[in-house]
């Protein structure tokens, strides 16, 4: 089997390998639990590191020999397949040669997995993104302001609700809870992975050097010796060499590499956009309008050439509908944008005094429609203003060949004009990611309210796509972009 094909096969097996580690962890966690504990009660956090360490030990037995072959394949000076590398190792060092670096793998995986699972469980149990029972109780009515907003939009009066309407609302609430739980798992898992690899990467670098070392050579030494050598060679830079490609998923094809770069741009820009808008809300409506509109302009200048600087799933959805994006690209952008806005809202809990997860309507950037505004008015304003924004982005095409250098200013002015027109009524969100970020973190609104806003914004994107295609607006920049590609 060629090396490239073998590595592809190895990558495809990665998910199954991680799943096996999770199974080992789950079984160890169950074994360590107090048998008298009530069913469904989470295991105490202090036993999680031991279960994670056990999973790391089991994983090392598989990773040791396979990563040995991978490292040798990546450093060989001639074309060779895994079977040839395997025969060479056995001929040169015997069967024990396959255990080269196994000790270093244990040193990396045992504490690494203990840290990963402990960080993941801690984040989930502290109800980041409202995944715990506290978030569910607040959503069900613990927050008076959110329940009043939700009820005013979803129902004219509780006495007039039909059974079918109540069933529909329950279904929406269940879907919202499931989506919030999935989002929590993704974000917490990602943060746990960052914590793990940011800590153990020097051990991984040392392990890789041990596995490519020849018997009796200068690199045929232990982990501690390699760490000293790395520090002498380049200090912290050498110890954490390769940190960025480790934390960012690097795909095999050039197109996917470009998409990964664009996702990172959308994630970073959305994080900053959310943070600026949320923090400015404490200064009143005028400060929030200025920060959101003026702050968006330099962000577009900074990221337009990298990703197009959407920072908005509605804009990306419009490009999906008009054929500029395929579904994979749209989904990648939307995930990055929503994750960025969630992180931006979470940063407020660190950077602003007195701000906590799940604090409700008092959270910075926690939006809500004005009292007494009908659902049709909310839908209409959000739909029309989102369409206005999307048409402007489509026709000015910031970051595309032939676009005017003033394009970002036009987009910022649309955000300002919309905020002045309907901000006092709906909050003038125009952005599903900006709607979801604070809603997930501060848990101040019910699913019915969020669903109304999201549907209006996506409808606005669809309206913009239809109008732009009918009028032919923005075709020249897109044709130039496709020709350049």
Percent with pLDDT over 70 in the chain: 76
Using CA atoms, how far apart are residues 168 and 42, in angstroms rounded to an integer?
A: 31
Range from 153-167, 235-249, 250-264, 361-375 that averages highest in pLDDT: 361-375
What pLDDT sits at residue 337?
95
**Least confident piece of the model among 45-49, 85-89, 350-354, 427-431:** 85-89
Domain count, the chain: 2
pLDDT value, residue 146: 38
Q: Is residue 170 part of a domain?
A: no
Q: Which of 247, 265, 280 is the last residue of a domain?
A: 247
Identify whether 361 is part of a domain: yes
- 294 with 381, same domain: the answer is yes
Q: Cα separation of 393 and 415, whole Å? A: 11
Same domain, 346 and 200: no
Is there a domain that residue 151 lies in? no
Answer whether 0.85 is exceeded by the pTM.
Answer: no
Pair 342, 197 in one domain: no
Q: Which pLDDT score, from 0 to 100, does residue 177 have?
A: 60
- Could you tell me if residue 160 is inside a domain? no
Q: Are residues 229 and 363 in the same domain?
A: no
Q: Which pLDDT score is estimated for 160?
A: 41
Give the lowest-confidence range in 172-176, 196-200, 255-259, 309-313. 172-176
In contact, 367 and 429? CB cutoff 8 Å: yes
Q: What is the pLDDT of residue 182?
A: 55
Q: Which of 247, 270, 290 is at the close of a domain?
A: 247
pLDDT for the residue 74: 76
Q: Which of 231, 247, 263 is the last residue of a domain?
A: 247
201 with 260, same domain: the answer is: no
**Residue 153 included in any domain:** no
Q: Is the pLDDT of residue 158 over 70?
A: no
CATH of the domain at 304: 1.20.1080.10
Q: What is the pLDDT of residues 38-77, one digit of tens each?
A: 877 778 888 999 999 999 998 888 888 888 888 888 777 6
Q: Which of 69-73, 253-257, 264-268, 396-400 has the lowest mean pLDDT?
A: 253-257
State both tokens at 417.
Answer: 């004009």
Give the residue with greater pLDDT, 32 vs 430. 430
Q: Which residues fall within 8 angstroms of residue 345, CB to CB, at 6 or more apart?
A: 274, 275, 278, 363, 364, 365, 437, 438, 440, 441, 442
Is residue 468 within 8 Å of residue 395, measured between CB atoms? yes
- Report the range of poorest mean pLDDT among 108-112, 191-195, 292-296, 451-455: 191-195
Structure confidence at residue 152 (pLDDT): 41
In a domain, 162, yes or no: no
Question: What range does the domain containing 195 cover?
Answer: 3-146+183-247
Do 199 and 295 lie in one domain? The reply is no
Length of the chain (residues): 485
Residue 161's CB is within 10 A of a number of other CB atoms, namely 15
304 and 220 within one domain: no
For residue 143, pLDDT beyond 70: no
Q: Assess whether 296 and 316 both reside in one domain.
A: yes
pLDDT confidence of residue 253: 42
- Any long-range contacts for 229-237 (C-beta under 8 Å, 24+ apart)? 230/202, 230/205, 230/206
* pLDDT > 90? residue 393: yes
For residue 173, the model assigns a pLDDT of: 59
Look at 214 and 103; give whichever has higher pLDDT: 103
What is the structure's pLDDT at 446?
Answer: 82
Q: Are residues 315 and 452 in the same domain?
A: yes
| Same-domain pairing of 462 and 445 | yes
> Tens of pLDDT along 206-220?
998 998 888 888 888
Reported as type and span, the H/E element at residue 385 is helix 375-396
d(CA 123, CA 418): 37
Can you give the pLDDT at residue 154?
A: 40
Q: Where are the beta strands (DSSP E) in 54-98?
A: none
Q: DSSP assignment, residue 99?
A: G
Is the predicted pLDDT of residue 254 greater than 60, yes or no? Answer: no
Quick one: pLDDT band at residue 413, thresholds 50, 70, 90?
very high
Q: Judge if 416 and 449 occupy the same domain.
A: yes
Per-chain mean pLDDT for the chain: 79
Residues 205 and 325 placed together within one structural domain of the fold: no
pLDDT higher for 134 or 170? 170
The whole-number pLDDT of residue 426 equals 93
Look at residue 105 and tell me if it is in a domain: yes
What's the pLDDT at 281? 85
Is position 159 within any domain? no
């Amino acid at each position: 089997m060629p090396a490239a094909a073998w590595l592809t096969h190895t990558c495809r097996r990665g998910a199954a390998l991680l799943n096996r580690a999770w199974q080992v962890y789950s079984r160890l966690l169950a074994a360590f639990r107090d048998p008298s504990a009530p069913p469904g009660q989470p295991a105490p956090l202090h036993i999680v590191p031991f279960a994670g360490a056990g999973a790391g030990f089991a994983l090392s037995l598989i990773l040791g020999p396979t990563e040995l072959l991978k490292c040798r394949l990546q450093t060989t000076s001639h074309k060779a397949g895994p079977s040839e590398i395997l025969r060479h190792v056995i001929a040169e060092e015997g069967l024990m040669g396959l255990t080269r670096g196994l000790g270093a793998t244990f040193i990396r995986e045992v504490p690494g997995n203990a840290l990963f699972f402990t960080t993941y469980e801690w984040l989930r149990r502290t109800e980041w993104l409202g995944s715990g029972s506290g978030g569910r109780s607040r959503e069900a009515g613990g927050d008076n302001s959110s329940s009043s907003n939700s009820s005013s939009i979803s129902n004219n009066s509780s006495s007039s609700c039909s059974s079918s309407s109540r069933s529909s609302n329950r279904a929406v609430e269940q879907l919202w809870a499931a989506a919030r739980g999935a989002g929590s798992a993704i974000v917490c898992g990602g943060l746990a992975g960052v914590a793990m690899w940011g800590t153990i990467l020097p051990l991984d670098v040392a392990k890789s050097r041990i596995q490519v070392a020849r018997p009796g050579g200068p690199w045929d030494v232990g982990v501690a010796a390699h760490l000293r050598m790395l520090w002498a060679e380049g200090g912290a830079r050498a110890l954490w060499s390769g940190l960025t490609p480790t934390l960012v998923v690097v795909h095999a094809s050039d197109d996917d590499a470009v998409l990964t770069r664009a996702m990172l741009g959308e994630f970073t820009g959305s994080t900053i956009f959310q943070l600026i808008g949320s923090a400015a809300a404490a200064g009143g409506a005028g400060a929030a309008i200025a920060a959101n509109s003026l702050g968006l302009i330099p962000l577009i200048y900074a990221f337009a050439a990298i990703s197009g600087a959407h920072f908005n799933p509605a804009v990306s959805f419009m490009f999906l509908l008009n054929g500029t994006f395929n579904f994979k690209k749209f989904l990648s952008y939307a995930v990055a944008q929503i994750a960025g806005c969630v992180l931006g809202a979470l940063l407020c809990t660190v950077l602003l005094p007195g701000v906590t997860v799940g604090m409700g309507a008092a959270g910075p950037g926690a939006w809500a429609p004005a009292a007494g505004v009908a659902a049709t008015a909310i839908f209409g304003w959000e739909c029309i203003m989102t369409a206005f924004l999307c048409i402007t982005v489509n026709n000015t095409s910031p970051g595309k060949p032939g676009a005017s250098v003033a394009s970002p200013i036009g987009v910022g002015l649309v955000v300002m004009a919309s905020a002045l027109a309907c901000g006092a009524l709906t909050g003038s969100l125009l952005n599903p990611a900006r709607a979801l970020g604070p809603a997930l973190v501060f848990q101040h609104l019910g699913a019915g309210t969020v669903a109304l806003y999201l549907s209006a914004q996506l409808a606005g994107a669809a309206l913009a796509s239809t109008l732009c295609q009918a009028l032919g607006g923005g075709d020249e920049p897109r044709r130039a972009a496709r020709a350049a590609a």
